[in-house]
Structure 1
Amino acid sequence: MHVMITGAGGMIGRKFAESIANDDRIGDRTVETLTLVDIVPPDVATDFTGTRNVVEADLSNEGVAADLVARQPDVLVHLAAIVSGEAEADLEKGYRINLDGTRALLDAIRAAHETDGYTPRVVYASSLAVFGAPFPDKIGDDFFLTPLTSYGTQKAMGELLLDDYSRRGFLDGVGIRFPTICIRPGKPNKAASGFFSGILREPLEGKEAVLPVDDDVRHYHASPRSAVGFLRHAAALDTQMLGSRRNMTMPGVSATVADQIEALRNVAGDETVALIRREPDPTIEKIVSGWPRDFDVRRAREAGFTAEDSFEEIIRVYIEDEMEGRAPRA
């Protein structure tokens, strides 16, 4: 089996590629070829024992998508995107990368299908930002898409394209609406949600962190480990159970900022929590106020997707995966 990952240099792309290097079985098939695509050559999955291709490419450039699709991967995991805060700040760039790049990729698949019947599994990384307020207490998969950001609008358009091209038989799509991934390792990115990780990651490493919103802000989270699990499961899923509705919200943990901080206290103690500094940011507060808080994900659970059950579990996953099991103790 040939797996291609666009956006392979990003955090989730890197971890997914590394998981394949560690375990090359996806479902009942073996990954024999792994193609990693990003605008900067991704240096990941170097331990992969099969054929490993690294492609430096920007999907929004003319001809790039067709060249990638000509490799005919069996599974194409489309993670390439710019994140929420950057997409909101730079409208043109957001639509060029998040919409035009996605459509170019799907249209290249359509052209290949019409030529020789090529029909790959496409796993599309979407977002909770496709939903807009006012919200019910728990948002189900049948809740209408009314995004309140340009990023959410771009992702919603991608979802509709995935449904339509799957319906027409050009591809076999699975759309994954990721919870906010927490705790993200490494340096902060430009995502408006970055502080959710920062107020945990930095204190766990003995550094000060800035909290730009109130403690009562509630959001929906899953760990990077769960994100990789979503992708692996989607790559091998029997899509007959999905029918024409190919996009699903993944399982996660609904928690307030106060819940996050209390979980951090339970795991790492008061001195670690004391490293969080409150510094309100009206721009971030405005963006976050329009985000959903909790979800009814029965479709995803029925399809076999799983995630953590508590925020304390999310913190412990980070400690195990990124800190070799060592962290400040309560």
Structure 2
Amino acid sequence: MAKHIDLFWSCGMKVLITGGAGFLGLTLARKLCEKSYLSLGQDPQQVIDCIVLNDTVIPQTRPEGIDERVSFVAGDIAERETVGKLVDRDDIVIFHLASIVSAGGEADFDLAIRVNLTGTLNILEAARARAGAPRVVFASSTAVFGGQAMPDMVSDLTKQTSQTTYGMTKTIGELLINDYSRKGFIDGRSARLPHIIVRPGRPNAAASSFCSGVFREPLKGEDFAVPVPPQTLLPLLGYRNCVQSFIHLAELPADVLGDDRAVFLRNQGHTVHQMIETLKGVAKRNGLVLGKISMSHDPVIAKIIQGWPSQIDSARAERMGFPADTDLDRVVQDFIDDFMPS
């Protein structure tokens, strides 16, 4: 059964965020609270009066920046009845972020299938049951690509041959979004995420968790062991522009996307060595003493990372007006400004 706290009145447009108690879900909710509307179709400013954040575990107190329009609902998206109660109105926009991530999916195949496939199908079927083809934004990943034939540079036109359970479920999710949209059941779109940095809090089960950890832990004065070689090239995007990209994708007219609803978000490629050197420079400017950074090869993590794209052509997203980071220094400084006490 779903557990509700601080429910708000139902009127105007509703926004549902699955995985809403996670970092990106909460950051997106804060931005939507600040923005207060979405521009959809003929309505340039459709007011948001209700935001529901769904997750398996919800905060016991209201997080900072989350106002009274927001309610939290604990529940499992793999349960159809729970999802039906979440998607309970026609005037709804859904940001589907909930997922069992990469290393977690490799460790527990059945859980990944249950959450990432059954849960996504439940979301799509609940949206299909509403009138008006609700808009659905699905968080996908670079993990949809992989394999021996993967080119050095991938794009939205590259063949998907994922080598992880997580990536396979994201590939299927993208195809479902395309077909449910083609049939007119929903107005869906998929955001292919590069590695999103810098995430606060504790490391998660993602193989790419170190992409944030290499900044976060040393900035806290803690030692950090990097599990991949220093020359590893990684496509990165700061969390602020990731959230802005979710909103931009939600607001894009369907005819701009056409029949291919999956879009690689804009990104910049940096090696682990460049990431560490950037961190040192930003820390020095802020008068911060870093924890020690060392190299400690993890063959499991390294194999997963090596199987993902290291370079992404996001020219399509650029043409569509998606935001981009100015430089890596700015992304690290944003994290310090947003999450580190002065």
Give the TM-score normalised by the residue count of structure 2: 0.88
Secondary structure class of the residue paired with 1:32: strand
1:106 to 107, 124, 131: 124
Please, what is the CA RMSD of the aligned residues?
A: 1.9
Q: Which runs of 5+ in 1 are unaligned?
A: none
Q: Structure 1 stretch 67-76 or stretch 230-239: which is displaced more?
A: 67-76
2:183 to 165, 168, 184: 168
Change beyond 3 A, Cα 1:152–1:271: same
Matched with 1:121 is 135
Give the distance between the partners of 1:217 and 1:51, measured in 2 at CA.
43
2:336 is aligned with what amino acid? I
8 Å contact kept, 1:265–1:272? no
Matched with 2:152 is 137
Matched with 1:236 is 251
Q: Structure 1 stretch 311-320 or stretch 76-85: which is displaced more?
A: 311-320
Higher strand fraction (1 or 2): 2
Tell me how far 1:73 sits from its aligned partner.
4.5
8 Å contact kept, 2:15–2:92? yes
Tell me how far 1:308 sits from its aligned partner.
0.8
Change beyond 3 A, Cα 1:203–1:49: closer
1:212 to 223, 227, 246: 227
1:14 aligns with 2:29: no
Give the distance between the partners of 1:79 and 1:36, measured in 2 at CA.
10
Matched with 1:74 is 92
Aligned length: 321
Percent identity of paired positions between Structure 1 and Structure 2 = 38
Matched with 2:6 is none
Matched with 2:240 is 225
1:303 aligns with 2:320: yes
Matched with 1:34 is 51
Secondary structure class of the residue paired with 2:189: strand
What do residues 194-233 of structure 1 show as CA deviations (whole Å, max 9, x unaligned)?
Answer: 1111111111111111111110111111111111111111
Matched with 1:322 is 339
Give the distance between the partners of 1:51 and 1:69, measured in 2 at CA.
17
Q: Structure 1 stretch 130-139 or stretch 237-246: which is displaced more?
A: 130-139
Give the distance between the partners of 1:305 and 1:285, measured in 2 at CA.
30
Give the distance between the partners of 2:228 and 2:155, measured in 1 at CA.
26
Change beyond 3 A, Cα 1:271–1:14: closer
Change beyond 3 A, Cα 1:280–1:49: closer
2:198 to 183, 195, 219: 183
Q: Which runs of 5+ in 2 are unaligned?
A: 1-12, 40-44
Matched with 2:5 is none
Q: Structure 1 stretch 224-233 or stretch 308-317: which is displaced more?
A: 308-317
Matched with 1:90 is 108
Give the TM-score normalised by the residue count of structure 1: 0.92
Secondary structure class of the residue paired with 2:309: coil
Tell me how far 1:49 sits from its aligned partner.
5.4
Matched with 1:64 is 82
Give the distance between the partners of 1:73 and 1:277, measured in 2 at CA.
51
Matched with 1:199 is 214
1:36 is aligned with what amino acid? L
Give the distance between the partners of 1:279 and 1:52, measured in 2 at CA.
42
8 Å contact kept, 1:141–1:248? yes
